[in-house]
Amino acid sequence: MVLCPVIGKLQHKRVVLASASPRRQEILSNAGLRFEVVPSRFKEKLHKASFATPYAYAVETAKQKALEVAGRMHQKDLRAPDVVIGADTIVAVGAMILEKPVDKQDAYRMLSRLNGKEHSVFTGVAIVHCCSKDGRLDTEVSEFYEETTVKFSELSEELLWEYINSGEPMDKAGGYGIQALGGMLVEYVHGDFLNVVGFPLNHFCKELARLYYPPRPADLRRVRHDSIPAVDTFENLSDSEAGGADPGQSAKGGRGGEQADGDRSQAPRALDAALNGADSRPRFPTGLLELMDGFKASKSREVGLECWPCGRLWDPAALLAGQQVDGGPQDTSCLQGRPGLPMADHADQAGVCWGSWSKCHPPPPKVLFTACKLKLFDVLKDQGPLQAVDVARKLSTCAGRTEQLLDVCAALGLLEKTRRGYSNTEVATLHLVSDGEHSLQGVAEYNDAHVWGVFTRLGLAVREGAEQTRGALGAMEEERLSQSRELTLQFMRAKHSLSKLTAHHVATAFDLSRFASACDLGGCTGILARELAQEYPRLQVTVFDLPEVTELSGGFQRGGRQTERIRFVPGDFFKDSLPEADLYVLSRMLQDWPDDKLHKLLSRISSSCKPGGGLLVAEAAAEEEGASQSPRLRTLSAGQPRSPDEHRRLLQRHGFQDVRVARAGDLLCVVLGTRAAP
Ligand SMILES: Cc1cn([C@@H]2O[C@H](COP(=O)(O)OP(=O)(O)OP(=O)(O)O)[C@@H](O)[C@H]2O)c(=O)[nH]c1=O
């Protein structure tokens, strides 16, 4: 659940918190914000007397902290983050400003001043939007402050010293920490508690709402005269209705801003839609995954050898040569009879005669993989729109070939081509930029480096009758396991990025609150475990995966409260005993294994599962009984999707009853069975 969808507005931006304060980091990460921490080096010694009010001092200090970090980061890699957040908390007794005590005596002086009295805590916050153009850093600063009143009880000398000797006052403004032992000194608080702790989260969200959702004309008539939107406005804003403007875009009058405003003035923001759709997760990128993945389906049923655009016939063995086309000269003559036909339409046909199509033209997945490998989308994200020659210069590639690559990417809907040059489309910004929260670069990398190779061998294999699809994929799996750490990491990155897109759907397809513990078998980097822990506050989750995977999973973790309830256990689910759990989870696992292994795994789970315990299975959904051709979500999976009935029978065969099936997120089939008494 996202309480404040406006936080999601920062989701696809590179956000930096310019603060070393662990409290600020915790407040913001608990709110669901993803950010890097770069403590500011700005020395907090502005001349206090030159400020008319204590809060003006706090705001200016916050701003200087953030600007210092933006400038330093820009200088360091000529690339500033998108947003830098700075904050400064001070305690004010009248006009006197108290910051962090320098030693115990100083702490004593401060606490004595606060003793038995009311004081104000101000936190100044600066949100700096950055943009680098032609090596120059441009910034737009939004700033605000929040005030909270705190009253201390009458405290004895002895108690004050005891508190000082606890060490708690030293890194805190005014010499106390209200969130810990210092809470005992406080008689009352008026205002935002988190503001005292170091960050006014509520006001921050309102400020984001003000920046990212400028008022609609209709709202202007009834807006209140303060600049802050009413409390109930930001909680109800939805990202899913294309409603959000980017402050950068709206300032520049860019297309995104215009579109958003246009939409909003026509359709009043439905409260319902906002509440139901208040989820900052992006839509499932079906088209993109099909593009990355479609070659598996087409290779698997590759019998038609007639190229759709040109009608030429090809030998299956020639499919192997399909890989060579991305560097070599292109034969595009067969497209000439159909001028203007988008490449994507050719790609659609690829399911019928993919191999021959790929011989004539660079196959779309290869184009995509090559563009990712060259970091094309990263360059355009930071510096686009760019002309082909400029892209070629930045990538150190051949200008002519780069233009071809850009044109194909544009035809595939990954780039937009205008007179100003090429820029990323929304799907590319979301999923093809390497550092994006929902980047699928890992999938592209893995498919390109490994899966492609396996499937290009498949044509030959089918022709010679040597192997079946699963055999080929089994070989891939063996290859994966026997190879290096880098290969494992590549696989993990791919699985990690896909799981981010599906985990929420899997975790919420059924109400799992009756289970106290869960074990995610083959849980890899723990993305689903995290989602489960987040959804079910009392659930303890074990991630069980091969030792080489659990060993590397640490690199994928980020903090947060849920992590305390997640543990990683190394092991092989075919050999080792399974960790005890009320609920076993297999997410996008079953398709990976040939039938013998699949039944072995299910019977091992069945024997470990206590009566009343559960098994949750999530797989790519087959469209209907027997229909199993969709390449959707088959990424990293070997076999064919099963229909809901096939899943039901599978679980029943292994002792699970009351099997329920749900479609989740359109593309997933999630199945929950309860272990019957033996
Ligand atoms: C009153 C109060 C303050 N604080 C902490 O006091 C520091 C203020 O100092 P700052 O200069 O604003 O921040 P910093 O810690 O020096 O970090 P930076 O942002 O890098 O300057 C911040 O930590 C706050 O949490 C608490 O943890 N609890 C409280 O009740």
The reported pLDDT for the residue numbered 623 is: 52
- Whether the pTM exceeds 0.90: the reply is no
Higher-scoring residue by pLDDT: 191, 327: 191
Mean pLDDT of the chain: 74
Higher-scoring residue by pLDDT: 223, 461: 461
The residue-averaged pLDDT of 554-564 equals 71
The residue-averaged pLDDT of 556-565 equals 71
Here the tokens at position 42 are 């700005």
The reported pLDDT for the residue numbered 475 is: 53
Give the C-alpha separation, 393 to 98, whole Å: 54
The neighbour count for residue 584, using CB atoms within 10 Å, is 28
The reported pLDDT for the residue numbered 111 is: 97
Please give the C-alpha separations between residue 452 and each of 444, 448, 456, in angstroms, as whole numbers: 10, 5, 6
The neighbour count for residue 62, using CB atoms within 10 Å, is 29
Q: Flag whether pLDDT at 466 surpasses 80.
A: no
The reported pLDDT for the residue numbered 227 is: 31
Residues known to be catalytic:
88
Most confident of 131-140, 194-203, 292-301, 545-554: 194-203
Those residues whose C-beta lies under 8 Å from the C-beta of residue 488, and which sit 6 or more positions away, are: 480, 548, 549, 552
**Could you tell me the distance, in angstroms and rounded to a whole number, from the CA of residue 172 to the centre of ligand 1?**
5
Strand 583-587 with 517-521, pairing: parallel
| 302-321 confidence digits (pLDDT tens) | 323 333 333 333 333 333 33
Confidence of residue 552 (pLDDT cuts 50, 70, 90): confident
The reported pLDDT for the residue numbered 580 is: 96
Nearest Cα to Cα of residue 527 among 481, 568, 480: 568
Here the tokens at position 473 are 């994929």
Confidence of residue 572 (pLDDT cuts 50, 70, 90): very high
| 238-251 confidence digits (pLDDT tens) | 333 333 444 444 33
Q: What is the DSSP string of 347-403?
A: HHHHHHHHHHHHHHS--HHHHHHHHHHTTHHHHHHHH-SB-HHHHHHHHT--HHHHH
| 335-370 confidence digits (pLDDT tens) | 332 323 333 343 343 333 333 333 344 456 677 888
Contact 45, 102 (CB under 8 A): no
The reported pLDDT for the residue numbered 639 is: 52
Pocket residues: Cβ below 6 A from ligand 1: 19-21, 23, 39-40, 44, 65, 87-89, 91, 100, 121, 171-174, 176-179, 182, 196-198
215 cis-preceded (ω within 30 degrees of 0): no
Question: Beta-strand (E) ranges in 31-159?
Answer: 36-37, 83-93, 96-98, 118-133, 136-152
The reported pLDDT for the residue numbered 256 is: 30
- Mutate which of 17, 30, 172 for ligand 1? The one with the most ligand atoms within 8 Å of its CB, which is 172
Those residues whose C-beta lies under 8 Å from the C-beta of residue 50, and which sit 6 or more positions away, are: none
- Mutate which of 23, 61, 89 for ligand 1? The one with the most ligand atoms within 8 Å of its CB, which is 89
| 154-171 confidence digits (pLDDT tens) | 999 999 999 999 999 999
Helices (H) and strands (E) in the chain, counts: 27, 16
Confidence of residue 474 (pLDDT cuts 50, 70, 90): low
**Could you tell me the distance, in angstroms and rounded to a whole number, from the CA of residue 124 to the centre of ligand 1?**
11
**Could you tell me the distance, in angstroms and rounded to a whole number, from the CA of residue 88 to the centre of ligand 1?**
7
| 88-130 confidence digits (pLDDT tens) | 999 999 889 999 999 999 999 999 999 999 999 999 999 999 9
